[in-house]
Amino acid sequence: MLIPDFYTVVNFHADKDQVNARIRLNPGHEVYQGHFPEQPVVPGVIQLQIIKEMLEKGLKKKLLFKKVISAKYYSMIIPGETPEPEISIQFKRTEEGELKITSQINSGEKVFTKVRGVLSLKNKSFIPVF
């Protein structure tokens, strides 16, 4: 976990082409002192990190985001109001050995974030596309 104690995994399931998890956010984490003190929200970059970490947990391999195709933030994740967001990730392996993902963070019917991207094995060299 890149940011210790930011969340804990409550429920986790992985199979050959998808990962589903529910996490419990730590509303007292120091990240929220800067983002933002009066209205804490989970930063978008941390949401990307959580998606990557859940996929790593499912595959038992270290990964890097090679490319974010799209990241859409529909609603703020407020730790006190959304204590246990759900993460769903569908992935396909490409001919190059990378993983193309479609993922979503939600709570029930409320969708917070949708991300599509390409990840690569951490030990495999590549040049990132920005």
The answer as to whether 129 is a domain residue is no
The answer as to whether 62 is a domain residue is yes
pLDDT score of 49: 98
The answer as to whether 38 is a domain residue is yes
Q: How many domains does the chain have?
A: 1
pLDDT in tens, 5-63: 999 999 999 999 999 999 999 999 999 999 888 999 999 999 999 999 999 999 999 99
The answer as to whether 51 is a domain residue is yes
pLDDT band at 83 (very low <50, low <70, confident <90, very high): confident
Range of the domain at 106: 7-121
In whole angstroms, how far apart are CA 79 and each of 42, 59, 86, 111?
7, 27, 13, 15
Structure tokens at 63: 């990964």
Strand 99-107 and strand 63-73: the pairing is unpaired
The answer as to whether 2 is a domain residue is no
The answer as to whether 127 is a domain residue is no
In CATH, what number is assigned to the domain containing residue 116?
Answer: 3.10.129.10
The answer as to whether 128 is a domain residue is no
